Chain A
Amino acid sequence: MMSVENEFDDKTLRERIAENPRPAMLWVAGLVVLMALELGSIAAAVLRVGSVVKFAIGGIANTPSWMAGFVSESLGSIGGTIAYGLTALALLVIAAIVVKWLFVPFSIVDRLGLELGVGKADVVERAIVTAVVGVVTLLFVATPLGAAVDAVIGALTQGLESISSLQTLTSRETIPNQGYQLPDGSWEGTWLGLSPAMAWGARVLLIYAYAFGLLAWFWRGYNVFRNHYREADWTPRDDSVNRFRNHYWGVFGFVVVFVFVVMALWAPALSPVTAEANLYSPYEHEVQYYDEEIEDVASIPHGEANLETRSVGGDSNVGLMSYDKYDRFHPAGTNQDGKDLFTFLAYGSQVSLVIGLLATGLMTLVATALALMTAYYKGLLDLLTVVVSDSIISLPRLLVVLLLSVVFMEANHPIATIYDGGLLLALIFAATGWPLLWRAVRGPALQVAEEEWVDAARSYGQSPVETMKKHMSPYIAGYMLVYASMTLGGVIIGVAALSFLGFGVQPPTPEWGRAVYEGRPYVPTSSWHTATIPGLMVVFLVTAFNALGDGIRDAIDPESDASGDEAGTSAAASGGGG
């Protein structure tokens, strides 16, 4: 070990914080204050993540019996039972890998003092973890333990539910914007009696101020860590971060992406109407307005009011930043059904980002794993991957995606109903998109596999998985980030194009491409906004992701020769022609 003072000391982060707690405490205190303002939303978010996880686990737990049913159709019940067992075993092995990766940082084989070769030790290690996971699963299913855990989760959920009903700083209720105007011009029901436009504007400002404040606080946290608690004074990553900060085009991309992410996260509070009243069940929610004929306040279901506020050209138009005849404020006008377009757009950004991120995440996972393995093992595996990926690339992407979604949707496959087809789309885009990403990082991966340190790790007895994870993946992670951010734009365009053709995300879930399709006849009329604004959203978001990718590329590798990379991603970035 080095004996130089203050450099490469062996202290853990915890010890370093204990030595000098003040900056960390200050930062955490600030974070707690910021979080406390949004406690209700955080609890709601935890609940939502919990329900998604529960749903996913339920779906995965059903696969063995689903497989069994599938196989027993053709091979009889014995085949079905065998398929059940095999699928369950495969799931257990996968679960074991995840458990080992997340919760068991040490080697059980070493602890037990077994003497085995590198390859064998890995297998035994996996087997032990799988067995433990299997036993635990059995315990859950067969003993009252499962019920007990269920009860605990139920109690936790109830607690969270009561917290989630707390009002938060940035919720719609803090600054209500829906009200009605009395004949004397004053507003009832809005925040401080301001006009709905002003109230809505104030809420938008507040939300973005909060979000950027939070972002700034995390940036500060990184700086605190860098200045006070990191063992090295300088790392190469610092230079990358500094380069990115001075890369205006990249920063522009980052800011725009952040604006859209905030829009997606805060969609319920940013939209002037609730999604329930606007998109899903407009006839079950009422709006109050001042009726001049009866000279009193009356109320009408949103659905009925919408019939009078449609933007279909000519005189029937509610444009940008205007009120309709029921005193509802529409920042982006209404659409052809008379619904508020901004609400549609805000929730649409949720859909686009969720599908885009999910698809890109899956793609990145597959492409990284394959790139590492093909670069490490080469040979037959590499050749096979080349053939498979070339074949997938040789199918025109948008056509395959179209065909797949038609096939699944016409058959009413259960997977096509999740998220109104969103999950299916993400899976399809991931399945057809990974070869492009894999190709893009294959070069760098092959390069790093030739490096001396990889050879050294191998001869030192490091297991292949560890070598790939520790010594190869950091090198290609940067490239992956660049290509992933550019691919994301392509996926967003592709999803919108498919929805435009009627085979993407199905109504009532909002999707930008569908808005363009539905507003298409009114572009040459006074209601030009119905199709133009959703399209502009796509343009902004995709441009921003491309800019972000450019910025990251220049930040991690200022010498990179751009021309070669661009040819590879050009097809990806433009979404296969959507």
Chain B
Amino acid sequence: MSRWRYLLRRVLLSIPVIVFGLTITFVIVRMGPIDPVSAILGPEAGAAQRTRIEERLGLNQPLWEQYIDFMTDMLVPWSFDLGQSWVIQPGTDVTALLSSYAPRTLWLGFWSILIPIFVGIPLGFYAGLNSNSWGDYLASFGGIVWRAMPNFWLAIMLLAFLRLSDKFLFGFRWDTFIVEIDSLVGQPPLDFIAVTDWVSLGIISIPVGIYFSATTFLASFKQILPAAIVLGSSLMGNELRISRTAVLETINSNYVETAKAKGLRSRVIVWKHVFRNALIPLVPVITNEAFVLIGGSVIVEVIFGINGLGYLFYQGAIQGDFPLVSSLMFIFILVIVSINILQDFLYTILDPRVGYQ
């Protein structure tokens, strides 16, 4: 099977996965022990209100019709409709909510993937290259414990540490370090970059004036940094462990032996032969973490007071905004499924030996 046919099959196989995932969401929300209308309205609500909402949501129809409506709204492109929020911001389209909440989550997710890559992988490579040294033991043990820490606890500890940073770090104050931030928790300012001027060339417009504020950027980075470290903690631990084993495996492989026998300098061996091959098993680790990032963003965003998608989902769930929750769930399913396909695609490029099945 060629690479493209393999990928096509992969995409086709993901369709039943999405359909079934949506069905599970439907079953939980509409057929679960709680009915969506009373979740929206709360226990004391008039019958008139109830019928109105039932009509708007189509809950007065038979279950199978509700199911078909639900699925076509989400899946069929020409009747695509994510619906509206009912409790959090009544009457607002979910798409509008997404565009205002998603950037903060993306900003958080970006750093919580990037930071572990630049910390976890180098540490793991170091541990693998110096295996069974004290440095290796320290890094490995640290990685294991770091991974076992629950995010919610780590977040609280980190916040307390930063709040008392002048006590622990001899007068070093985190809140005034480089740029001052008002509070350790809260929204990161995302207005550090903006387009001020557009030039139209026929039908396409090109941004020419770009506004960029380094101070706001730094403040934003500083605001998101603790949250990103917490959210990326398990990712970092995994990357450390796996890059360590991967380096150990490549170091003992035949082609490295050959390179050594040829008299290649060890620096060249490490850079050209060990690192590149050791990176392959890290691909699924990083992509796998998409699950963790989406799930974990709830806790981290709630604790750090970041108004992102995880926070929105949490609020929607506890306040009974089930139409919003099921639409968000659909978005998350889409993201995860596409990341999975991307992962398989990357694999076929990085390691042509992988079997297409």
Contacts and interface: CB of A to CB of B under 8 A. Distances in A.
Contacts of B47: none
A535 B149 CA distance: 8
Nearest to B241: A566
A387 interface: yes
A538 B147 CA distance: 12
Contacts of B313: 399
A524 B160 contact: yes
Given A394-B18, A566-B242, A567-B284, A524 B163 contact: yes
A501 B151 CA distance: 12
A467 B151 CA distance: 44
A408 interface: yes
A388 interface: yes
Interface in A426-484: none
Contacts of B164: 524
A528 B159 CA distance: 13
B245 A497 contact: no
A406 B159 CA distance: 28
B207 interface: no
A50 interface: no
Given A387-B16, A398-B295, A570 B238 contact: yes
The residue in B153, B237, B296 that gathers the most chain A C-beta atoms within 10 A of its C-beta is B153
Interface string A550-578: 00000000000111101100110111111
Interface in A379-431: 387-388, 390-400, 402-404, 406-408, 410-411, 413
Given A516-B152, A516-B153, A394 B17 contact: yes
Contact of A403 (B241, B249, B317): B317
B150 interface: yes
Nearest to B149: A539
B53 interface: no
Contact of A542 (B39, B148, B151, B336): B148
A499 to B, nearest CB: 10
Contacts of A520: 156
A501 B153 CA distance: 12
A240 interface: no
A488 to B, nearest CB: 12
Q: Chain B, interface size: which category?
A: 35 or more
A47 interface: no
Interface string B23-50: 1110011001110000100000000000
A168 interface: no
Nearest to A496: B150
Contact of B148 (A408, A528, A539): A539
Nearest to A397: B295
B39 A493 contact: no
A531 interface: yes
B192 interface: no
A314 to B, nearest CB: 15
Contacts, number: 198
A574 B292 contact: yes
Given A395-B332, A407-B33, A577-B292, A402 B149 contact: no
Contacts of A399: 294-295, 298, 313, 317, 329, 332
B152 A562 contact: no
A46 B237 CA distance: 43
Interface in A476-508: 489, 493, 496-497, 500-503
A546 B152 contact: no
B32 A407 contact: yes
Q: B150, B156, B237, B317: which has the most chain A beta carbons within 10 Å?
A: B150
Contacts of B18: 391, 394
A575 B17 CA distance: 22
A338 interface: no
Contact of B288 (A413, A516, A570): A570
Interface in B299-344: 299, 302, 313-314, 317-318, 320, 325, 329, 332-333, 336-337, 340
Contacts of A489: 148
Contact of A567 (B16, B32, B242): B242
Listed residue (A395, A396, A535) with the most chain B CB atoms within 10 angstroms of its CB: A396
Given A410-B320, A520-B156, A577-B291, A395 B285 contact: no
A532 interface: yes
A563 B164 CA distance: 39
16 contacts: A387-B17, A391-B20, A391-B23, A394-B337, A402-B314, A404-B32, A501-B302, A524-B160, A538-B153, A547-B144, A561-B249, A563-B246, A566-B242, A575-B150, A578-B152, A578-B299
Interface of A: 387-388, 390-400, 402-404, 406-408, 410-411, 413, 489, 493, 496-497, 500-503, 513, 516-517, 520, 523-524, 528, 531-532, 535, 538-539, 542-543, 546-547, 561-564, 566-567, 570-571, 573-578
Q: Which 7 A-B pairs have the closest CB atoms?
A: A577-B296, A535-B153, A398-B295, A574-B234, A577-B295, A411-B34, A391-B20
